Amino acid sequence: MVFRALALVLSLGMAVAHGADVAGVKIDDKTRVGTSELTLNGAGLRKRAFFQVYAIGLYVPQKASSAQALLEQPGPKRVAIHMLRDVGAEAFSEALAEGIRANHSEAEVKVLEPRIKELTSIIAEVGEAKKGMAFALDWQPQAGTVMLVNGAARGKPIAGDDFYRALLKIWIGDKPVQDDLKKALLGS
């Protein structure tokens, strides 16, 4: 009986150490942004109606279960998105912009708008987000927000930690794109 309990505890510990599996996508427990090693804070599935759109993982220097703590945490961060279906560039861009607008006042959106357009331009260059593609939105304190597609940087970095926090609020803000996804990214 004690042996079974110990085996169960050990197997659960090993599952956590190896990250997460979201809709068949393996999300590693660690990643690197620049020279910094980041830890998976949480991972989840973005759904729209009946469709699985993407698996997502949030990586930070220090795990936290509070959205505010994650938003205020200094240092590099990564939002890793693994596409589970094809999504057009315009639809993908508009979904991100809507998520930002939902979590900010009109005045805040007006300040963010030029950088939202920069991100939209990068996504337009990439074209359709196809099933199987991996996107990363990295916060690199020295550079800004960097978009990677299948591991390669695309476009120029977008300035301002306020912009990266705006992106994070899409998923962990007061009006997240999906409530259960917010809980998953917060590790709840």
Instruction: Write the pLDDT tens digit of every residue in 16-31.
Output: 445 889 999 999 999 9
The answer to whether residue 156 sits within a structural domain is yes
The answer to whether residue 47 sits within a structural domain is yes
**What's the mean pLDDT in 184-188?**
92
The answer to whether residue 15 sits within a structural domain is no
CATH (domain of 76): 3.50.70.10
The answer to whether residue 1 sits within a structural domain is no
Long-range contacts of 24-27 (CB under 8 A, 24+ apart): 25/55, 25/82, 25/84, 27/55, 27/57, 27/80, 27/82
The answer to whether residue 10 sits within a structural domain is no
The answer to whether residue 44 sits within a structural domain is yes
User: pLDDT over 70 for what percent of the chain?
Assistant: 90
The answer to whether residue 122 sits within a structural domain is yes
**Overall number of domains in the chain:** 1
Range of the domain at 78: 21-185
The answer to whether residue 6 sits within a structural domain is no
Instruction: Write the pLDDT tens digit of every residue in 126-147.
Output: 999 999 999 999 999 999 999 9
